[in-house]
Amino acid sequence: MTIKVGDKIPQAKFHHMTADGPGEISTDDIFAGKTVVLFAVPGAFTPTCHMNHLPGFVEHGDTIKAKGVDTIAVLATNDLFVMDAWAKATNAAGKIEFLSDTSGDFVKEIGLSMEAPILGHTRAQRFALIAKDGVVTHLGIEEGRELSKSGAAAILEALS
């Protein structure tokens, strides 16, 4: 079943790069007591994700945070080293939290995974959500390569 507005974000752990190297971060660490924008992409460095989806959040990150958002995070099933390289290549390190759901367990649990044989393994569907203290208050799920529901503009509108 797909997660929906009003649902609590399930318990999970993600991998991410810290100042001390590879680390884990839990959904409690990310969401508890905070307003969070989490957007997911099928893959780091893939054309739509790299050229269209992530850049909007980098460009409008300050505006999004000015509307009461504590954290903006991007999630993909790439490994944490790829996610770290993507953060650095896009100058988004420190602006956006890059999370690795390497096994795809989280996106499967929330019903937003997809199989992409050309990409090699389970991937996240393209989506974005807003959560307050771990409860989903907005959810936009895309069809194909669209960004009308999960891009920065849609999130800014949802925050208004």
Which residues are the active-site residues?
49
Instruction: Tell me the residue ranges of DSSP E strands in the chain.
Output: 13-18, 21-26, 35-40, 71-76, 97-100, 113-116, 121-124, 127-132, 135-141
Place of tokens 């958002």: 69
φ and ψ at residue 30, rounded to 5 degrees: -80, -45
User: Would you call 128 helix, strand, or coil by DSSP?
Assistant: strand
In sequence order, what are the residues at sequence separation of 6 or more whose Cβ sits closer than 8 angstroms to the Cβ of residue 111? 1, 2, 3
d(CA 79, CA 98): 10
- 3 state DSSP class of 82: helix
Q: What are phi and psi of 13, to 5 degrees?
A: -125, 140
